[in-house]
Structures are given as structure tokens and as C-alpha cells.
Structure 1
Amino acid sequence: MVSPPVTTTRQCHPGADSIHVVDPRYDGRWEQLTRSTTGSIFTSSPWIRAVCDTYGFEPRGTVATDVAGEPIAGLADVEIRDFRGVRISSLPFSDRADPVLRSSKAWIPLASGLVWSDAPFTLRCLDGTPPAVDPMFRTEHRAAWHGTSLTGSPADLFGRLHPSARRNVRVAGRNGVEISVSATLEAVREFHALHLDLRKRKYRLLAQPVEFFERIWTEFHREDGIVTMLAFIDGQPVAGALFLVWQDVAYYKFGASLASHLAARPNDALFWTAMQWASSRGLSSIDWGLSELDQPGLVAYKRKWASVERQILTIRSGNQLSDEGADVTRLLTELTRLLTQDDVPSRVTAMAGALLYRYFC
């Protein structure tokens, strides 16, 4: 049984009555904030629990409340101490973790109530949000973000897609691509096998362990908030996607496919199935997540499905990572290259991911 989290309250700040330091995995005020329209999957308590319970992190939530005790702003972060040095992240392994603000003015009392240090503090947020224009941060990286509004009928949605997306959906149908939609843990594990193979063979990267995916399933299955879609050709899984639901948004979090079957357009069939599924659930939009700008093919692919495009900024305050930490980063990069060679058994690659992935944040 989980012990009740410890909550501390600090002095008042302009624009807020109190600043509280809470455990965002369990605190009711944090839950109330993140279930508002400005919260996202990545600041939700279930997501934070899945990440932190997998990697042994202790998250910290800073919540500003008004005179009536109602939460008006919050930011979650994790202090990481390992052989790469001390650093603070909001939040590890998340596309973004924008502060949850009832209004843009709420950033001022929230920021003044945060515990600042010289350690590197990294935050990922959408462009145009208050921290993105705050002079205390410097922008160190930019990535693309895409979203799709689900207003209208399925015919309306299909008609708004890029012509090449509509064409590829039809190609997938002619090639016998079949899509399964499942909320089971077994489907998550089947998807992870595809995910592991893609990360290793295409990107030469390690994958997060299957235990992380299992924890995600445990957290979101409780609220019917996770679905795995798999594309089959002649009974073989050739592509997959994992979607999470928070509030009225479907989040495309992970995707994978076999290069040998891309000509059959299984990913287009998956995306179109996801749009129909989300629309049938009455969801308002799909968040297609982060895409690196140095992967123009992926950015262009998501543009075919999206109705809006913005940027996710990685912003930072405090010192740079120490020289020793930079040396460790280079070592991890070289180890990753060695452990993702074709002659390394996938079982070994998976074990390496389980051992090392927590240090990639």
C-alpha cells in the first residue's frame, strides 16, 4: 500500500496565495489541475507514475493555489543524480511537459515559487507558452509538433487529408492490410517487439524496456485510456501504434513498422483507423507528438494528417552539463552503437535498453 505523500507549503507570492510542493503522482490538487483543459498526458498522474516507477525517480510538483485554495498553476520535475551529474528535468521521457496554467499570468507566481539551483534545468514546452518566452530560459533545441482536429463526420475527416494520404489508405486496402484494435496487455507486448526491432535496425538506438510499456498499460487501462493498433498482412504483424487517451485527446505515443512491408502502406491504414476510432469515441483531437526536424521524412508524413503544426522547444536554465557528464554521454552513445549492431542478439539489445535507458535523460 502506498503511503500518503508528504506535502509542504511555502510562503505566498504575488498572484497566488500559497505555493505547495507535492507528489504529482498522488496529490489531489495536481490531479485537478491536469484534468483541466491545459493539462496534457505528459503531466498526468498516471504518466508520471509509469515513468517514475519504472526508473526509480522521485517527482516533485510545485502547485500555486489562490486564496480559496484552488490550484491555478503547476509544474512537475525530477531531480536526477547519477554518473552524468546532477540535473533537473520536466519531465524525463516525455514529448513535452508544459506547466499547467489556468491563465498565462499564473506563470509568474509559479515561477517565483520554484526551487532554482545552478544545476541544469530542462523543460520541453510548446512555442508561445509563457516559459518559452521567459528570459530566464535559453532555447537549446526545436522539434515539430502536429495535431489534428476531429470535428466533422468520418467523410469530412477523410476529405481533409492530404491527397497522398487518401491514396495510400486505398493502397493499403488493396494490399490486404488488416488492422486490429486492442486494449489488451498482450497487444502491447506484441507491439514492443516491433518497436525494439525498429529502434535497433533503423535508428541504431536502444528501446525503453517492455516493463515501461507494461506500466503504461496498467496505469491507463484503468480508465480505458490505452489502445494498441497492429497492422497485419497475411497474418503477420508489420506495423503498430500505441495511443493513449487523456481528457478528450488521443495521443500517438509510439509507432513502429517493418521496412520490408512499407510499400503496402500499413502505417497509413493505422493512422486512418486511429482517426476513425478517436472520432467514434467523441474525442476532440489527436496529438501526433514530437518529430525531430532532422527527420524531414517523418515531419512531412505527419503533415499529411495534421491540421495544425507548432514547435516543441527544449529550453534550459542553470549551468551546462559538466565535462564529466558530457564524457559519459559520449560513452553511452558509443555503447549504444555497439549494442545495436546486426550481429547482436535482440535479446541482448533489449536487456541493454532495460539497463541503460534511464541515463538518456
Structure 2
Amino acid sequence: MLRLRRVEPTAALWAERETYDDRLIFHTEPWLRFVAESQGAYPVLARVEDGGRAVGHFTGLVSKRFGLRILGSPMAGWTTSYVGFLLDEDVPRREALAALMPFAFDELGCAHLEVRDRRLAPADLDGLGLRWDAAPTAVISLTPSEDDLFAAMASACRRNIRKAEKSGVVIEEASYDDPTFASDFYDQLRDVFAKQNLVPTYPIDRVRSLLSHAGPPGNLLLLRARDDAGRCIATAILPWHHRTMYFWGGASYRAHQGVRPNEALIWHALRWARSRGITEFDFVGGNSYKAKYGTVEVPVPWARRSRSPLVAGLRDAAKQGFALKQRAKARLTR
């Protein structure tokens, strides 16, 4: 029977976690520092043990909402993706998830738990008292040749990439300490949300925190698209680690979308990642527009459980309230 035992972060512990084949950038120390800072949360690390023998690790962060302790692995709105477990290959994720319940509610004293694990399947959740939403992601295997990757895209996508090149769009790589990258990205993000009469769901400080924490280890690819006049018209933020690159965010000015900078950014990222031995590109979401790049949809359930129905109701009310607040802010800024 599995159990979780809380452990303190040490250099040896971080090195041990890096030996697991299912490790993601979202499990790393710099990434957790970013999430902790932006959410006012603190990381909780635990070993998964079977009879005292370590067979994996759990990663989460505890925050407070409505005066209640919340364990997120992750929570919605944290601008991070799958966290959950690192496990030996022969350890069932369902058993690890079952062991998480007493750890979250009894040992940590939390009132609510949310978990999204890249390798959890819907069948793993049956009978554990969890509610869950389908939260699929779109991925691209980078193992085919560059020519085959390009051929797998929709014909319109290929035309747009060629159009960007013919229009003089140039993709450049930026450094995490570039003094203008965060403001370039965020200004374009405002324009993206304005198209839907909304405002961004997070402040510019979130972007700056990401660059300062996750940038120095060298695991962020930051891209700018410039037009033929040298103006920055689109940007993208792409973390990578182990064998996967992720799409954290992209933005562009509506006035310049006719020269197709977004497709050019993604194509540059795919080739960059493939040339460095990265074998998968993960869009971290399943929006239909991503299918044009030749993606495959992968199911990743987002599971949650509350100590009481009242807490579950508060969680749902907070989600609805955030959406209303966002629309109200947009009206005030118009």
C-alpha cells in the first residue's frame, strides 16, 4: 500500500527527482519558485513510498482561499500545467492518487485538492470520490524529419508559413534578461484579449516572474517576430525540459496578423526543439486552431475533491466570479 511522506527540498532531493523518466519542467525547483511567487503559495514535496521504499514523488503547492488551505497540483489560473506525480514505471498512478487523499486532507489539513497529472487517465479516477473535467492537450511528435513535420500541417498553415517568409517576417531569439521582452509580450497580449472584449487573466508581473525564475537555467525559448520594418509584431514563450517543449504563451498585434507571424513563430520553435533532441511539442491545451499544425489530442483529466460540498461550491463560485471580474475590467478599460 502506498503512502506519501512529506520531505524538505535539498540539492540531493532535486537531483533524485531528475532521475525519473516522467519528469516535467513543472516539477523543477525554478518553476515552483515562479508559481509560489506569483500565487502567494508554498511548495509541498512528498516521497511516494511502498513499505518504506521510495517509488516516486508528489509535487504541489498550498495556498489559502476564503481562509481555507488549498492544495493545488496545480490549481486553475496558475499559468502552469500538469504537476502531480513522478513514479517508477511499475507504480500504478491510481494507487498514488488514492494515497494523496489522506495526505492532502489529514496530514496537510487542506479543504480542497486539485491535480492534473500528464499520465493520469480517466479510468484512474473511478471510485476515488473525485470530480473531474476533460482537459485534453494537443501534442506534436518531433521524431519525424523536418520535411515530414511540415507536410503533416494543414495546407493553409504551410501557406501561411511561406507567406510570413515572403513578407519579410524574421524570427529572433531573445534572452530572459532582455529589458523589453516582457512588455512587448504583454502589450500584444492585451491586444489579443481586447479582440474578445476582455483583459489578460494575469498581470505583467507574472511574465517577469517567469523570466526571472525559469530563465536563468536556460530552459526558456523566447521568440520575437519582426516585420520587414523591424517592428516586433508577435512573441512566444516556450519552456522546455527533458524531452518536451511547451507553449506557455503567444501574442501578436491584430494589425499585423495578415503577414502570419504566429505560424512562423511555431515553425521556428518546432525546428529549434527538434534540432536539440526534444521529441515532443505540447501546446498545453486542446483548442481547435492548433490542429492545423498536425497535432494529436491527448486526454489529461483535471481532477478535484473537496472536504465538503460547501467548499466545492465556493470553488465553483470563485471561478464564475473571476470571469465576471475580468469582463468588468475590460469594460472599464475601453
How would you bin the TM-score normalised by the shorter chain?
Answer: 0.7 to 0.9
> What is the rounded CA distance, in whole Å, between the counterparts of 1:73 and 1:126 in structure 2?
15
Alignment pair present for 1:184 and 2:176: yes
From the superposition, tell whether residues 22 and 202 of structure 1 become closer, same or farther in structure 2 (CA, over 3 Å): farther
Query: What RMSD in Å do the two structures reach over aligned CA positions?
Result: 2.9
Alignment partner of 1:340: what SS? helix
Please, which runs of 5 or more residues in structure 2 have no aligned partner? none
Query: How many correspondences in the alignment?
Result: 320
Task: Select between 100-109 and 302-311 the one with higher mean Cα deviation.
Answer: 100-109
Q: Which residue of 2 aligns with 1:303?
A: 291
Q: 1:41 aligns with which of 12, 25, 28?
A: 25
Q: Which residue of 2 aligns with 1:225?
A: 219
Deviation of 1:165 after TM superposition, in Å, equals 1.8
Alignment partner of 1:115: what SS? helix
Alignment pair present for 1:312 and 2:300: yes
Alignment pair present for 1:119 and 2:102: no
Identity %: 22
Deviation of 1:90 after TM superposition, in Å, equals 1.0
> What is the rounded CA distance, in whole Å, between the counterparts of 1:262 and 1:225 in structure 2?
28
Q: Which residue of 2 aligns with 1:344?
A: 333
Alignment pair present for 1:174 and 2:159: no
Q: 2:189 aligns with which of 182, 192, 195?
A: 195
Deviation of 1:327 after TM superposition, in Å, equals 4.9
Task: Select between 215-224 and 173-182 the one with higher mean Cα deviation.
Answer: 215-224
Alignment partner of 1:229: what SS? strand
> What is the rounded CA distance, in whole Å, between the counterparts of 2:87 and 2:320 in structure 1?
37
> What is the rounded CA distance, in whole Å, between the counterparts of 2:91 and 2:30 in structure 1?
27
> What is the rounded CA distance, in whole Å, between the counterparts of 2:196 and 2:300 in structure 1?
24
Q: Which residue of 2 aligns with 1:63?
A: 47
From the superposition, tell whether residues 110 and 31 of structure 1 become closer, same or farther in structure 2 (CA, over 3 Å): farther
Alignment pair present for 1:135 and 2:127: yes
Residues 243-264 of structure 1 show CA distances to partners (whole Å, capped at 9, x for unaligned) of 1111122111111122222222
From the superposition, tell whether residues 169 and 35 of structure 1 become closer, same or farther in structure 2 (CA, over 3 Å): farther
Please say if residues 75 and 98 of structure 1, whose CA atoms lie closer than 8 Å, have aligned partners that are also in contact.
Answer: yes
Task: Select between 125-134 and 244-253 the one with higher mean Cα deviation.
Answer: 125-134
Q: Which residue of 1 aligns with 2:57?
A: 74
From the superposition, tell whether residues 84 and 328 of structure 1 become closer, same or farther in structure 2 (CA, over 3 Å): farther
- Taking structure 1 as the reference length, the TM-score comes to 0.77
Residues 311-347 of structure 1 show CA distances to partners (whole Å, capped at 9, x for unaligned) of 2211112334355565555444333222122x527xx
From the superposition, tell whether residues 325 and 155 of structure 1 become closer, same or farther in structure 2 (CA, over 3 Å): closer
Please say if residues 122 and 301 of structure 2, whose CA atoms lie closer than 8 Å, have aligned partners that are also in contact.
Answer: no
Q: Which residue of 2 aligns with 1:259?
A: 254
Q: Which residue of 2 aligns with 1:100?
A: 86
> What is the rounded CA distance, in whole Å, between the counterparts of 1:28 and 1:194 in structure 2?
41
Deviation of 1:267 after TM superposition, in Å, equals 0.9
Q: Which amino acid aligns with 1:334?
A: L
Q: Which amino acid aligns with 2:324?
A: E
From the superposition, tell whether residues 260 and 150 of structure 1 become closer, same or farther in structure 2 (CA, over 3 Å): same
Please, which runs of 5 or more residues in structure 1 have no aligned partner? 1-13, 292-298, 346-361
1:240-259 aligned within 5 A: 240-259=235-254
Deviation of 1:106 after TM superposition, in Å, equals 4.8
Residues 90-121 of structure 1 show CA distances to partners (whole Å, capped at 9, x for unaligned) of 12322222322112525425642651427221
> What is the rounded CA distance, in whole Å, between the counterparts of 1:134 and 1:30 in structure 2?
32
Deviation of 1:35 after TM superposition, in Å, equals 5.0
Q: Which amino acid aligns with 2:65?
A: D
Alignment partner of 1:241: what SS? strand
Q: Which residue of 2 aligns with 1:4?
A: none
> What is the rounded CA distance, in whole Å, between the counterparts of 1:50 and 1:179 in structure 2?
27
Alignment partner of 2:272: what SS? helix
Deviation of 1:201 after TM superposition, in Å, equals 4.4
Deviation of 1:271 after TM superposition, in Å, equals 0.8
Please say if residues 135 and 285 of structure 2, whose CA atoms lie closer than 8 Å, have aligned partners that are also in contact.
Answer: yes
Deviation of 1:38 after TM superposition, in Å, equals 0.6
Q: Which amino acid aligns with 1:115?
A: F
Q: Which amino acid aligns with 1:141?
A: D
